[in-house]
Homo-oligomer: A and B are copies of this chain.
Amino acid sequence: MDCYDIMKRITTHRGVKQLVVINKEGLPLRTFPAESGGLEDSQIQSLHELAGAARRMVRDVDPTDDLMFLRVCSKTDEILVSPDMSFTVVVFQENYEKQAATV
């Protein structure tokens, strides 16, 4: 199973609205599902900047450490940000309580 299939499979999980792969400049490389109306490019750029600020914060506390994951939970949604060397994966989903309420 290649990474394309893995990402498509993630979007089939209950509550997942969108998965976006963004590059080092914060520009979307790939969006699953392709035609989804989730996060706009400007919001993806803000997320990229948020992950950058979080990484600076982590390194300020311990310069040998690095950001592995950022979870932004709101009343209705969750945005999961997983940064890597050359790209960042963002998953936009309903928050856990809202998902559990729709069982």
Interface residues of A (CB under 8 A from B): 39, 42-43, 46-47, 49-50, 53-54, 56-58, 60-62, 65-77, 79, 95
Contacts and interface: CB of A to CB of B under 8 A. Distances in A.
Q: How many copies of this chain does the complex contain?
A: 2
A57 B43 contact: yes
A80 B73 CA distance: 11
Given A66-B74, A68-B75, A71-B71, A50 B61 contact: no
A59 to B, nearest CB: 9
Nearest to A76: B65
Contacts of A70: 70-73
A77 B62 contact: yes
Contacts of A50: 50, 53-54, 57
